[in-house]
Amino acid sequence: MGNPMKNSCYMGIDVGSISTNCVVITPEGGVLSEIYRRGDGHPIESVQKCLSQLTAQLSDEYCVKGVCTTGSGRVLAGAVVGTDVIKNEISAHARATIHLYPDVRTIFEIGGQDSKVTIVRDGVVVDFSMNLLCAAGTGSFLDSQARRLNITIEELSTRAMTSEDPTDIAGRCTVFAESDMIHKQQGGHEQKDIMMGLCHALVRNYLSNVCNGKEIKPPIVLQGGVSANKGICRAFKEALQCDIVVPPYNMVMGAYGAALIASKSGIEKTKYRGKEASTHIIITKGFECGDCPNCCEIIEVLDADEVIGRTGGRCGKWEGRTEPREALKGTGPIGTVFGTSAGGLTEYDTCRLLDNVPDLIQIGVSKKRRS
């Protein structure tokens, strides 16, 4: 590592809800290697497998000069890999798309659990929106429907494309969509028509919920895991009456964007842990902070006995810190609790030590009951 003779490269890791993606690029933005890996509920293992696959693919002449993690598991992955930058996935996706298509005006991104729309004007993100309280119309739903019909998601995509007369499916809610599909299937509708109807329902739901009130203008780029589904692309084209661009790295755009961000952030010395990150056994251990009644569950990421990162907690006291637990306990914005109280129901404690500053002041609340 760190050999000046080697060519430099940058790595982006996107830990999403159902997939873990990894992209390595040259400083100019050319993709050296890309990995899309469906996660199996073990984000740490997935990241490690991704990394070992990468090291196998990447020739020895490259050396990683910077790492950026993104996606919902960005903090955890960052601790495992040793990241330089942690970025949200909305910005990462937009960065990648604007890099590939400078004149893009709308970005649709549909992933496993999230669907987002990003509005870009003159190469700058001006607005975005993300599904709020409902996951209808995301990849997970298509997945579960494919599983129910005992076909792969790729098959679902190709079958939907052959449909000429799509069935009308209620797409307001995934549960009702499923019962409607079963109803249609028992009524004798062809499977390919139901599949295409499902794609239409999903797109309709996406356009009315996520894109509600947004100015959708072409050129439109569609990315995220669901963009691999040709039926969805077709449904979008029919609904919006314009062309939809699916970029070449559509499945790993988040990771690509993260890599671009890493290459542009002027990292002098990377914190990347190199081979260690993929070969060592990394475990996590939870404990309750207990410094205040919030009782946050803190997760420690451990490489053997060494703490390489922490997640969880609301006050920012633990996040990303690697100092010993005792050194952090009772410090930071939150310390022990309990404000004024004198005499009372059972046993009261008065906070006198002002260095242990509570985040949550309780008045008249018994301490005994809490601990």
- Point out which residues bind other proteins (CB under 8 A): 72, 87-91, 114, 122, 124-130, 132-133, 213, 293-295, 314-317, 332-334, 339-341, 343-345, 350-351, 354, 357-366, 369
Q: Which is nearer to other proteins, 118 or 157 (CB)?
A: 118
Q: Which is nearer to other proteins, 161 or 365 (CB)?
A: 365
Distance CA 11, CA 256 (A): 8
β-strand partners of 244: 220
Distance CA 336, CA 338 (A): 7
Q: How are beta strands 31-38 and 85-86 bridged, if at all?
A: unpaired
Report which residue type is found at 182. Answer: I
- Which residues lie closer than 8 Å to 165 by C-beta, 6 or more apart? 193
- Smallest gap from residue 147 Cβ to other proteins (A): 24
Could you tell me if residue 339 is left (phi over 0), alpha (psi between -120 and 50 degrees) or otherwise beta?
Answer: beta
- Smallest gap from residue 132 Cβ to other proteins (A): 5
Q: Which is nearer to other proteins, 72 or 167 (CB)?
A: 72
Q: Which is nearer to other proteins, 144 or 350 (CB)?
A: 350
β-strand partners of 286: 299
Residue 295 has, within 13 A of its CA and on its CB side, a CA count of 3
Q: Which is nearer to other proteins, 114 or 180 (CB)?
A: 114
Q: Which is nearer to other proteins, 303 or 359 (CB)?
A: 359
Q: Which burial class, exposed, middle or buried, applies to 288 when counting CB atoms under 10 A from its CB (0-12, 13-18, 19+)?
A: exposed
Coil vs helix vs strand at 302: strand
- Smallest gap from residue 197 Cβ to other proteins (A): 29
Torsion of CA 254, 137, 216, 16, to 10 degrees: -10
Calculate the alpha carbon distances from 49 to 3, 36, 45, 205, 308 in Å. 25, 11, 6, 35, 19
- Smallest gap from residue 36 Cβ to other proteins (A): 21
- Smallest gap from residue 214 Cβ to other proteins (A): 9
Calculate the alpha carbon distances from 288 to 39, 126, 151, 184, 335 in Å. 27, 40, 43, 50, 14
Q: Which is nearer to other proteins, 173 or 365 (CB)?
A: 365
- Smallest gap from residue 261 Cβ to other proteins (A): 10
- Smallest gap from residue 176 Cβ to other proteins (A): 18
